[in-house]
Structures are given as structure tokens and as C-alpha cells.
Structure 1
């Protein structure tokens, strides 16, 4: 039982149309699945990724219309990274952000890699991270029909940053229950007076398998709104291994969902001691069970258990196109 890396991150948007415009037309990611939140079918759940939404490449969004702005703080996921092929790709993205008026920082070094921080229109905090010297989890393949440069495009998820008031309870879950190893630390990029950021990795390691923990005892707890990250998911090989993880999480007495069927993958949700929501998700079946590769994300996809309610679901949704 070893987690293979990061599977996906799921965040909140108040405007599905604007969200699709930014992630496809500006970032050049492929909308690989346009479906609904299975826990609230009146709103969209959008999946972006590499050419076929391979596990480890997916950024997803739940639409919550009229959601207030995120109130930033601790006990939260505060940075999502997207991998790019090398250092030169960061220069491409910096220029593209300036052309599209995207809020961004300067290219900087972080944990031995070059990164370019930026925010989407709703304040979702992200960064591109260079794979120039990465030798860990394999990257995905950018879509050849991307609206940005496929040669410089996002190849998957990089390190995810957690911000907590007290790091040790979260670190203990990562190491003692989830099998991560603590490999290094690095100075805080915004304030060297703050504690160093700690780096944990799993599986083959590298950019696609890292969690970074930031300690901020000076901040209040986050109040989630648009632009917030809802949860981070980690890769499990298959449903059999997921059942073993369910037993391990139950034995650790962590609040959890038990087995959840999502059709595109199977999941387990639980909260670590600082209240951040983690998910374990299987690598398959994937997104091509109900749509061919060539037409992923072009129409509303519903898992079989929601298909009988299609007409009612479609009637409540505002068209994105």
C-alpha cells in the first residue's frame, strides 16, 4: 500500500462560464469532463487536465453561484501547482500572463525548482513549477489542440501547499498513516521570519507527489468561498487497494466517508486533525467510459445512476457554451 502521488485538487468557483474561459482559453488546459456535483446536481462539476484527464493532471471545480469571496487563513489548501516541461516554459507563461492581464508574481526558486506564482480571476492561488530536473512521477501530455502552446503546457499537478496553525498533527498523519516521507524544508518565499516550509513526498516522489506544509500561527482559520481549494486527492492503484486504505483510516479513527462510487473513479474522504479534507481516489476507470477521447468535455456527462434524471438536471443548469 503506497499512494502514487497527487490525483486531483477540487476547488470552488461562483461562475462556471468564466472558469471555463480562463482554464481553457488562457491556461490552455482541456475540459475533459463537464458533469454535475453528485452531491448537489443543480450545479456543475468541471474537470480540466491533460489530453485525457489522466490521474495526477486534474484540476476540478464545483460551481457555487453567488458564493462569497474566500476568506484566506489557516487549516486550508493554499497553493496548487501545475507542472510545465522546463524553465523556459515559465518565461512563456510570464509573457502570456502579461498579455492576458493575469495577476502573477516573478519567477523564483522554491525547494530547488523554479516557479511562477499566479492567481485565476477569482483569487485561486496557483503556480507553474518547472520540471527541468524532475525525476519522479511521470508527467501527462498536454492536449495538442490547446489554446496555449502545447510545448509549454501544463503536464500535471505539482506540489500542493497546506497552511496550518500547528504542523505536527498533519505531518503525523502524512507520515504515520499515509506513508509519506519528510525529505527537506525551505525558507518561506514571502517572509524569512516565518517557519521554513516542510516538504513530504510519496510514491516515486518528485513534483507530482509532494505536499508542502506551511505553519502560520498568526492567521485566523479560512472561511471557504470562491477561489478556495475544497480538497486534495491522492492516487490509489485500484478499488481493492482502496478497501485496504478504508480499513487503515477507520483504524486510525479519522472521520471518513467510507467507500464512495464516483463512476470515473472510486473514493474515500477523510479529514486530517487540522480539518483539511483529503480524498483517496483510484486511478481508473477514467473519463472515456461515457465519451470518446475526441469529444471529451463537449456535452453534459452524467454517471449511469443520474442518467434517468437528465432532463430535470439539464433544466436547472445554465448553459456554459
Structure 2
């Protein structure tokens, strides 16, 4: 039984329209689900991924309008790493980001940059055999499209506290100093720690809320048992409509989720129309009228960049 790499990464933003323009516009991802935070349905939960809405390429955001910018520190993920196909893709993204007003720094086969609210990303050249998870943005050549997650980096002052849970109970495989590979039959990703800054962590806009790892549905209950056996305080299994989830903090303080591969985002929208309208799990449908009046309208970067208005 193995976890299938990273399922998704969830972060916080303060401005949903700006967030959409960056992730679906600048980065060329597909907005595959516009819904609400199921623990606070008054705010957006936005999901971006490849064209199919695959786990492994899914970065999501809770929008809390006006929340101050945060800063990553002890017990928080600080960098999200994506795959691209070639050094030429790094050239493409460096030029594109700079053209759109974002500073990009190149170091060998790594390109780093921050989103509009300060969340740090890296692009790395990947030459392994896993299927690229790409979106079809109108102005991003398919050979340069982001190909899904490669890993995440977190801050921890004493990573050894986390080793027993990660290795003995969750099946993380050591792959470097304070770094582990999370690999299943189809997908892999890495999880790593760095020394934290001297400043305290400040959750807020531009920070990661949690990282989720992918479970086959039939294994989900056993992963809960394993996390419990490792001493984690694990939630019950929660039905998130698009997948099922458990949550717990690993010993270094990072909030983990283990989420199932499915049923997926097409349970309430046809695949060709993902993310075009507000989708609500059934228990929130009675709130639709009020939510549609209070949530901000969102732009459509794909239409804006092709000059087309989607009907």
C-alpha cells in the first residue's frame, strides 16, 4: 500500500479575481472547480489543475477577502515545486513571468518566483516517465505547460521528530538530507524540510494551509489507521464531495491531508464545463441564492487571452 504522491496543495488568498488571473492566466492552469470552503461556505474555494482536474496537479485556494499577507515559518510549507519538460520551458516561463510583471530567478535547471501574494514556487526540469498533467491554455505551448507537482518544501527546526511517522507509518522513503519520496504505482512527489527563519510563522494570504497526499479509495481507511498508530491526532473520514479526506498535523507541525483519488470534479459538472459556474455540494445548495449574490464575480482568463467570450 503506497500513497500516490501529492494529491493537492491548498493555500490562502485575499483576492480571488487576482488569484484566477495569475493561476489560470499567467500560469495557464485550468480553473476546474469554483466552489466554497466546506468549513466556511461564505468564502470561495478555488481549484486549479490540468485539463482533466487530476490529483497531482491541483493547487487550491481559500479566499479570505482583505486578509493580510502572511509569511511561512516553522511548521509550514513554504515552496511548491512543479515539473516542466525541458530547459527551454524554463526559458519560456522566465520570459513570460517577467513580461507579466513577476520577478523570476534562474539557477541551473530551477526557476523560482512568487505569486501576487508572495507564495513561492519553483519549476524544475523533469525527465522521468510519469504522465505529464498539463492544461491547454490558449497562449502556452503544450510543450512548455506545467506538468503537475514535483514536491513541496516545509520549514522544521527538528525534522527528526517527524521521521518515525513519515517512514514507519506513511511509507515515505528517504531520498536525501531531510527529504523523502512519496511514490505509488502511477505518481510520485517529494517532501522536504529546511531550517526555518528566525521570524515566527504568520498564516495569511500567500501561505500554504495544508498539503494533501493521494490515496487509492480502497486504502483510505487503512491510512487513517496507520496515522493513528503513528501517534497522529487524526480526524474522522470527511466526505468532501469530490474526494474523501482525513487530516492531522505531523510532528513538525505541518498540516497533512490524505485524500482519495476520486470520485473527482466531474461528479457535478460535465468535464468540458469544469469550473465555469459555482458548484455546491448538496448540503450547501440551499445557500446558492445568497452565495451567488455575495461572492465576487470571477474573470475568465482563457476567454480574455483569446478574445472570445464563452457562452
Normalised by the size of structure 2, how large is the TM-score? Answer: 0.91
What whole-Å deviation, never above 9, does each CA across 1:260-304 have from its counterpart, x for those lacking one?
Answer: 100100000000112210000001011111111111111101112
Rounded to whole Å, the distance in 2 between the matches of 1:221 and 1:234 is 26
What is the correspondence of 1:104-183 to structure 2 with a 5 Å cutoff?
104-108=104-108, 114-131=109-126, 133-135=127-129, 137-140=130-133, 142-183=134-175
Q: CA offset at residue 205 of structure 1?
A: 8.8
Q: Secondary structure at the match of 1:242?
A: helix
Gaps of 5+ in 1: 109-113, 186-197
Residue 283 of structure 1 is matched in structure 2 by 261
* Mapped contact 2:210–2:257 kept (Cα < 8 A): yes
Normalised by the size of structure 1, how large is the TM-score? Answer: 0.89
Q: Secondary structure at the match of 1:306?
A: helix
Rounded to whole Å, the distance in 1 between the matches of 2:282 and 2:260 is 19
Determine if the alignment matches structure 1 residue 101 to structure 2 residue 80.
no
Q: CA offset at residue 176 of structure 1?
A: 1.6
What whole-Å deviation, never above 9, does each CA across 1:195-252 have from its counterpart, x for those lacking one?
Answer: xxx3210224999421111123x523311110000000001011x3111111222233
Most deviating of 7-16 and 168-177: 168-177
Rounded to whole Å, the distance in 1 between the matches of 2:139 and 2:24 is 7
Determine if the alignment matches structure 1 residue 203 to structure 2 residue 183.
yes
* Mapped contact 1:33–1:297 kept (Cα < 8 A): yes
Q: Secondary structure at the match of 1:305?
A: helix
Residue 50 of structure 2 is matched in structure 1 by 50
Residue 63 of structure 1 is matched in structure 2 by 63
What is the correspondence of 1:212-291 to structure 2 with a 5 Å cutoff?
212-216=192-196, 219-238=198-217, 240-291=218-269
Q: Secondary structure at the match of 1:55?
A: coil
RMSD: 1.7
Give the number of equivalent residue pairs: 299
Most deviating of 253-262 and 306-315: 306-315
* Mapped contact 2:16–2:298 kept (Cα < 8 A): yes
Going from structure 1 to structure 2, the CA distance change for 1:71 and 1:203 (only over 3 Å counts) comes to: closer
Most deviating of 204-213 and 77-86: 204-213
* Mapped contact 1:46–1:62 kept (Cα < 8 A): yes
